[in-house]
Structure formats: C-alpha cells, structure tokens
C-alpha cells in the first residue's frame, strides 16, 4: 500500500478494528478482481504491474490479515460467542482455509513474480486454473466473513475486547 493509504488504514484501525478488518476484506475482494483480470489476460495480454501488485498482496497482506483474525478476532469471539451462535466449529474451518490459502498464495506468488518480470507462463492453462481456484474460494471466504463473522463480532465483542483486538493488530504491524 502507498503511504497515504497506510495512514488511512491505521486511522480506521485505531477508531474501529472491526471496520479495519472489513476494509481489508474489500481490498482483498479487489485482489480477487485483479487475479481474475490476470487469468483472463493469459498468456499474451498480461500487465506486469498488476502481477506485481497481486504478488505483494498475496505474500504480505493476506498472511497479515489471517494473523489479525487468528490471534485477535477468533479467540475473542470464541470467548464471547453464545452456544446458539454456533461459531466455534466455523472458526476452526476458517483457520484451516487460511492455511490452505496461504500455501496456495505462496505458489501463485512465484508464478506472478515471473509474469511481473515480463516472462511468459510455461503453462497458461494450468496457471489460469490455479488463479481461478484461488480467487473463487477466497471470494467465498470473504463473503462468509462479511455476512456472518463480522456482524457477530460487532454484536458480541465488548469495548475491552475491541481494545484488545486493536492492540493485537497494531502489534502485528510492528513485528
Ligand atoms: Fe478475513
Ligand atoms: Fe479469514
């Protein structure tokens, strides 16, 4: 992210960590759109700067966001959720998806690195298939978190929890 965007994101984080998570989701939805454009542009119309942007986001911003959720949001929600919220097994499933998505993102980032250097893909069909597999499942993950997880967090987390979440997220950006 550029300087002013980092400042804006930090301002949102300080005023509301849940809004900051939601903002990151919209940035990651944009990442999915970029990955779709890259898949559509294979093999000859690829734009290297887009590949660089997607690669950086996959390598740095996606794992950071997962860390915010797994070290900050999920334990707090697990503590506050009521039995009828039925959220605990979903949190385990989301963590599993994070691990799968990160290993997939690692693999994709290597291909995107080559494309960002202007190299042609060795197997465009396979790369297109991999890109689509990633962004389709990541969009589902984002949609579920936006429609179920974050609304529940807004309902259940206390002001003290929100302060804890904000501190974890700030700490994740300093290490
Ligand atoms: Fe998320
Ligand atoms: Fe997530």
Residue 75 structural domain: 3-172
Residues 90 and 27: their CA atoms lie apart, in Å, by 23
Cα-to-centroid distance, 120 and ligand 1 (Å): 32
Determine the distance separating the centroid of ligand 2 and the alpha carbon of 69, expressed in angstroms. Answer: 6
- Going residue by residue through the chain (175 aa), what tens digit of pLDDT does each one get? 555 677 788 888 888 999 999 999 999 999 999 999 999 999 999 999 999 999 999 999 999 999 999 999 999 999 999 999 999 999 999 999 999 999 999 999 999 999 999 999 999 999 999 999 999 999 999 999 999 999 999 999 999 999 999 999 999 998 7
Tell me, what CATH number does 161's domain have? 1.20.120.520
How far apart are alpha carbons 83 and 86 in whole angstroms? 6
- So what's the pLDDT on residue 3? 59
Ligand 2: centre distance to CA 113 (Å): 24
For residue 16, is it left (φ>0), alpha (ψ between -120 and 50) or beta? beta
pLDDT at 8: 81
What span, in angstroms and rounded, lies between the C-alpha atoms of 85 and 7?
A: 35
> What separation in Å is there between the alpha carbon of 96 and the centre of ligand 2?
9
Share of the chain residues as helix, strand and coil, in percent rounded to the nearest 5: 85, 0, 15
Q: Structurally, how many domains does the chain consist of?
A: 1
**How high is the pLDDT of residue 112?**
98
């Amino acid at each position: 992210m550029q300087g002013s965007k980092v400042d804006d994101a930090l301002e949102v984080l300080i005023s509301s960590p849940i809004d900051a998570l939601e903002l990151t989701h919209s940035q990651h939805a944009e990442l999915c759109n970029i990955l779709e454009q890259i898949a559509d542009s294979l093999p000859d119309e690829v734009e290297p700067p887009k590949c660089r942007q997607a690669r950086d986001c996959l390598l740095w911003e996606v794992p950071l966001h997962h860390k915010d959720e797994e070290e900050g949001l999920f334990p707090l929600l697990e503590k506050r959720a009521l039995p009828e919220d039925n959220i605990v097994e979903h949190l385990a499933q989301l963590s599993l998806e994070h691990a799968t998505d990160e290993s997939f993102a690692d693999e994709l980032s290597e291909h995107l690195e080559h494309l960002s250097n202007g190299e042609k893909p060795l197997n465009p069909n396979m790369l297109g298939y991999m890109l689509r597999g990633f962004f389709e499942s990541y969009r589902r993950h984002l949609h579920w978190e936006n429609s179920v997880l974050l609304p529940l967090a807004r309902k259940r987390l206390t002001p003290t929890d929100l302060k804890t979440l904000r501190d974890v997220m700030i700490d994740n950006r300093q290490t």
